[in-house]
């Protein structure tokens, strides 16, 4: 068991944001028509403070503007990124971050919102805190996912939540060999397997019976989906390891899905390698709630 001083340190891994904000990039959920009023308000707020407002192409269309930036260009040019949408919108933005990416203020326009914890009503107060250097940020670990085919890297992805191997609709239970740092763990016989970050522990891994992990812990999770062997449970490992998953040559209809948004149909003998990414997502926290507040509200803890 961790001593109290160590546990307290883990629960307070946050940093005050202290950087000059000259350009704010806005990325909204595509086709989210209700965001137009907020975009107008943000434009006025930025103009009053002599801050340049940048919009990506989809957001520019929602605002009735003719031109916007590619997401990669917007991320590179921004001192702060405001994401308007749900967790899915934030996950899509996370995939284009680089080592110099600005902190992200995620405003919840969705329904669940484990990641987009700032409400619409809190948006401008939080922005003022950012300008005053009083906003706290959390560094959220990401993972790099590589598909190895015929001894070479066939495809690469980055994920904030998870990488998932699942069977096709008509496929039988699949066999997945798992090694960690070259050491054989087991052959999982299951409907699939999830490798997730602590942030992803409240996503698909939670519905598969995995534990809830505090989002700033240095760890990764390996969680089977509907395991044929009931003794298989979610495995929590250090974040510095390399996890490899291998398929049997005869298996078909197996898919890799990254953050539930992008993916690939796999072939027999493909291997999937997962490592901690050098890229982290810097997420601005709400001043009015913490991780446990979010869990109680979203998971309805204590309700009857």
Q: Which residues are the active-site residues?
A: 87
* 227-253 as b/e: b if 16+ CB within 10 A: beeeebebbbeeeebebbbbbeeebee
d(CA 188, CA 239): 21
190 contacts 173 by C-beta, under 8 angstroms: yes
Label residue 120 exposed, middle or buried (CB < 10 Å: 0-12, 13-18, 19+): middle
Task: Pick the closest to residue 120 from 81, 84, 80, 79 (CA basis).
Answer: 84
Beta pairing partners, 258: 163, 262
Cite the DSSP H helix spans in the chain. 4-11, 36-48, 57-62, 71-77, 87-94, 123-131, 204-207, 291-298
Do residues 123 and 38 touch, judged by C-beta distance below 8 A? yes
């Amino acid at each position: 068991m961790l001593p109290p001083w160590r546990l307290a340190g883990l629960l307070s891994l946050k940093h005050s944001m202290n950087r000059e904000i000259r350009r704010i990039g806005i990325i909204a959920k595509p086709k989210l028509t209700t965001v137009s009023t907020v975009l107008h308000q943000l434009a006025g707020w930025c103009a009053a403070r002599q801050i340049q407002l940048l919009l990506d192409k989809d957001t520019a269309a929602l605002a009735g503007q003719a031109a916007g930036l590619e997401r990669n260009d917007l991320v590179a040019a921004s001192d702060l990124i405001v994401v308007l949408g749900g967790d899915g919108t934030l996950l899509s933005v996370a995939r284009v971050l680089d080592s110099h990416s600005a902190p992200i203020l995620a405003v919840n326009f969705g329904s669940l919102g484990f990641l987009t914890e700032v409400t619409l009503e809190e948006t401008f107060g939080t922005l003022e805190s950012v300008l005053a250097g009083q906003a706290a940020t959390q560094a959220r670990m990401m993972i790099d996912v590589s598909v190895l085919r015929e001894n070479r890297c066939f495809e690469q992805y980055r994920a904030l939540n998870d990488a998932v191997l699942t069977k096709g609709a008509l496929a039988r239970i699949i066999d997945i060999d798992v090694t960690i740092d070259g050491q054989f763990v087991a052959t999982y016989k299951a409907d699939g397997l999830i490798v997730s970050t602590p942030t992803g522990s409240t996503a698909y891994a939670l519905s598969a019976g995995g534990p809830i992990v505090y989002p700033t812990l240095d760890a990764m999770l390996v969680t089977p989906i509907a395991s044929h062997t009931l003794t298989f449970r979610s495995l929590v490992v250090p974040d510095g390891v390399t996890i490899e998953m291998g398929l049997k040559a005869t298996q078909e209809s197996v898919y890799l899905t990254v953050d539930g948004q992008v993916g690939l149909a796999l072939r027999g003998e493909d291997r999937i390698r997962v490592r901690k990414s050098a890229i982290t997502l810097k997420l601005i926290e709400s001043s009015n709630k913490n991780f446990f507040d979010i869990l109680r509200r979203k998971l309805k803890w204590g309700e009857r």
